[in-house]
Amino acid sequence: MYALAYRIGQRRSKESRLSALGFRLSALGFGCESLEPKAESLYPDTVPELPEVETIAQGLNKRVSGDMIDSVWIGSRPQPLKSPAVTIAATLEGGRIVRVHRAGKHIVFDLETAGEGFDKRKSSGRKETRQAASLHRARERNAQWIVHLGMTGRMVVSDPAAEIAKHTHLIAKLSSGRELRFIDPRMFGKVSVSPAGFDPGGVEPLEVGEDQFTALFWGRKTPIKSALLNQKLLRGVGNIYADEALFRAGIRPRRRAAAISREQYRKLHQTVQEVLREAIALGGSSISDYVDADGEEGFFQLRHRVYGREGEPCLVCRTAIKRVVLTGRSSHYCPKCQK
């Protein structure tokens, strides 16, 4: 099956026979399907945020850093591929995984590549794409494999003998004998490759200083919750942690960013970083089907003070938590504690 450097568009016949409830693997990534039916998620459209992606990246780094990618299989569906399939396969094939880390909401595999994949592709007579040509010129330098999980994407480390889950879009066979599999039922996740130096845009919230943080939002007319979710400003912060940080800072999500004082921004800067670090330490929030690198659920959802608690009493003042919709996203707040 892996005789060539890559297989593109070839579907294994047994995949079509898999049940939607499929398999149980030792999960490494966003979710692990059980053999038992699951109850419908309360938040089916929840996207993994910075703490969940950080937890997954750390787990992957512990398990696969130093391993070599012997060969790659890519499915026929184009939706999950942000780079051309031939470029992805040629870049990954023969590469050594130096490190796995997070950039915004992306999982980034740093690779040492020798470039043999490009030589094989050229000798097969395939036409070289512009991106492939760029990577070919840079083949002696490092490259990066970038994965965005979307809503339902997962990266799992699996035994090759394990059944292939439905909606598996990429399989990287490792020299250790294991496989890295990218699975995504809804296909909102994306897989791409690039030369080293991937930048998702925005500022890293765990590294930004107070003055720079304030400058990002100062004078903006949009609601502060919407501004916090703008990945071009602050990368990685999503719905859950924006709600929780705003509650701790005492700021309502509908407040215009321009109407917030410097002292309130100082507090918000502190609470954003506080909430994110607490969530990472607890393995993220398992409010959908998220599990960490060891197949374990996160526990930060047990510390949610407002998110997902509409109608329940505030843990500080006992006022009922309210829910509003801003730019299509649910926002939760306490009408008494937040002004």
Is 7 assigned a catalytic role? no
Q: What's the pLDDT tens digit per position in 115-139?
A: 544 444 443 344 555 655 555 544 5
Q: What's the pLDDT tens digit per position in 284-307?
A: 544 444 433 344 443 344 578 999
Pairing of β 6-8 and β 69-74: parallel
Q: What's the pLDDT tens digit per position in 146-158?
A: 999 888 888 888 8
Catalytic one among 105, 121, 173, 178? Answer: 105
Is 105 assigned a catalytic role? yes
Catalytic one among 7, 33, 49, 54? Answer: 49
C-alpha R_g of the chain: 21
Whole-number pLDDT of residue 248 = 96
Longest dimension (CA), the chain: 70
**Quick check: do 6-195 and 210-333 share a fold?**
no
58: left (phi over 0), alpha (psi -120 to 50) or beta: alpha
Whole-number pLDDT of residue 328 = 87
3-class secondary-structure state, position 156: strand
Amino acid residing at 317: C
Q: What's the pLDDT tens digit per position in 13-61?
A: 333 333 322 322 233 333 333 323 333 333 444 567 888 889 889 889 9
No. of H helices and E strands in the chain? Answer: 8, 11
Whole-number pLDDT of residue 119 = 44
Look over the chain and give the mean of its residue pLDDT values, rounded to a whole number: 79
C-alpha–C-alpha distance, residues 339 and 327, integer Å: 20
Catalytic one among 24, 220, 256, 329? Answer: 329
Are 158 and 27 in contact by the 8 Å Cβ rule? The answer is no
Is 329 assigned a catalytic role? yes
Catalytic one among 33, 48, 84, 235? Answer: 48
Residue 83 has pLDDT above 70, yes or no: yes
Q: What is the CATH number of domain 6-195?
A: 3.20.190.10
Are 121 and 75 in contact by the 8 Å Cβ rule? The answer is no
The residue extents of the domains of the chain are 6-195, 210-333
The pTM (predicted TM-score) of the whole model is 0.75
Is 48 assigned a catalytic role? yes
Return the higher-pLDDT residue of 11 and 331. 331
Residues 271-292 have a mean pLDDT of 71
Whole-number pLDDT of residue 223 = 97
How is domain 210-333 classified at the CATH fold level? Helicase, Ruva Protein; domain 3 (1.10.8)
